[in-house]
């Protein structure tokens, strides 16, 4: 399977039309059709459903599209890094992160890089822990800012960040629990809960709560707290989340209440063990170590 053919495949998947894809690629339509047919024969799979005016992907085609985009992106990034001048510290650094206060340190380092090394560009990829770890494993990002250590510690190097995230409850100001100074485990036993999809039996929050998922009234799960906050505002329930991620100041209908006893989690910068960092990535890590040491 050649990279050139993968690029052709992606062009057709994007344009949903052989003629438009051929025009975008500056190639002849018969040649493009032949190469796509040969790709299907090589894989032994039907990748396209060919209609009169539109081409759509089969299930196998959608799978290949996802993988092809990852492959092409990694190849293009590697090519850019290798062709950079040795005299200039430049390049792209990809950082994956969930919603966490730990990004404040990354933002501070980003400011230093922008001032001292303007040819280094940071790219932030947002998602929850599951998404970010998957992209780190595939080499699609260079670093990940994670809440808590990943289970497979032997695969990664890590830098413990000085910040800590604190678990809290996000609720409406007119909710009865808003009258409390803190929320205890028994306060949540009967409440409709909106939980992160990452919360599972054995997680720190459920250990604090002393309950299993099956014993709770979970009305919704989410991977980004902003979307969940909209449902909290509509009265669907209360969200268990990290404090400070939603702005509850001013005329907001929402507020946070801390857990009692309090529950804090460590934050880590992670990267793959034995990974060869680009010069730009190595400079980012150097500055992160310096900032961490100064704040520690």
Percent of the chain with pLDDT over 90: 39
Name, of 2-6, 38-42, 206-210, 270-274, the range with top average pLDDT.
Answer: 206-210
Dihedral pair phi/psi, residue 166, rounded to 5°: -120, 130
pLDDT of residue 187: 96
Task: Report the candidate in 190, 164, 185 with the shortest Cα–Cα distance to residue 266.
Answer: 164
Residues 117, 292: contact at Cβ < 8 Å? no
What does the pLDDT look like over 74-104, one tens digit per residue?
888 777 767 765 666 888 899 998 888 778 8
d(CA 120, CA 133): 23
- Buried-state track 192-201, b at ≥16 Cβ within 10 A, e below 16: ebbbbebbee
What does the pLDDT look like over 168-215, one tens digit per residue?
999 999 999 999 999 999 999 999 999 988 888 788 899 999 999 999
Q: What token pair was written down for 221?
A: 């799960």
Question: Across 148-196, where does the E strand assignment appear?
Answer: 156-172, 192-196
List of domains in the chain: 3-82 (1.10.10.10), 88-163+266-295 (3.40.190.10), 166-263 (3.40.190.10)
pLDDT of residue 153: 61
| Dihedral angle computed from the Cα positions of residues 66, 67, 70 and 74, in that order, rounded to the nearest 10 degrees | -160
What does the pLDDT look like over 128-180, one tens digit per residue?
888 888 889 888 899 999 887 766 567 888 999 988 889 999 999 999 999 99
Contacts of 138 (CB under 8 A, 6+ apart): 70
């Amino acid at each position: 399977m050649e990279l050139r053919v993968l690029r052709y495949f992606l062009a057709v998947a994007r344009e949903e039309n052989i003629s438009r894809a051929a025009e975008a690629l500056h190639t002849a339509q018969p040649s493009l059709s032949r190469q796509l047919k040969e790709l299907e024969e090589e894989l032994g799979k039907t990748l396209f459903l060919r209609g009169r005016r539109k081409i759509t992907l089969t299930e196998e085609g959608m799978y290949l599209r996802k993988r092809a985009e990852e492959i092409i992106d990694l190849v293009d990034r590697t090519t850019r890094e290798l062709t950079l001048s040795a005299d200039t510290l430049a390049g792209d650094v990809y950082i994956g992160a969930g919603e966490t206060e730990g990004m404040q340190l990354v933002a501070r380092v980003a400011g230093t890089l922008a001032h001292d090394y303007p040819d280094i560009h940071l790219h932030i990829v947002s998602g929850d822990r599951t998404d970010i770890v998957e992209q780190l494993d595939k080499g699609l990002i260079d670093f990940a800012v994670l809440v808590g250590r990943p289970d497979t510690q032997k695969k990664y190097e890590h830098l413990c960040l000085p910040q800590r995230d604190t678990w809290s409850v996000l609720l409406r100001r007119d909710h009865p629990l808003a009258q409390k100074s803190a929320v205890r485990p028994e306060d949540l036993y009967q409440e409709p809960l909106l939980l992160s999809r990452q919360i599972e039996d054995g997680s720190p929050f459920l250990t604090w709560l002393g309950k299993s998922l099956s014993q709770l009234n979970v009305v919704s799960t989410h991977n980004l707290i902003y979307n969940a906050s909209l449902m909290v505002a509509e009265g669907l329930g209360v969200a268990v989340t990290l404090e400070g991620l939603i702005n509850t100041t001013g005329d907001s209908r929402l507020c946070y209440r801390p857990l009692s006893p309090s529950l804090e989690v460590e934050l880590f910068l992670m990267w793959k063990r034995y990974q060869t960092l680009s010069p730009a990535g190595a400079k980012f890590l150097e500055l992160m170590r310096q900032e961490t040491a100064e704040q520690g």
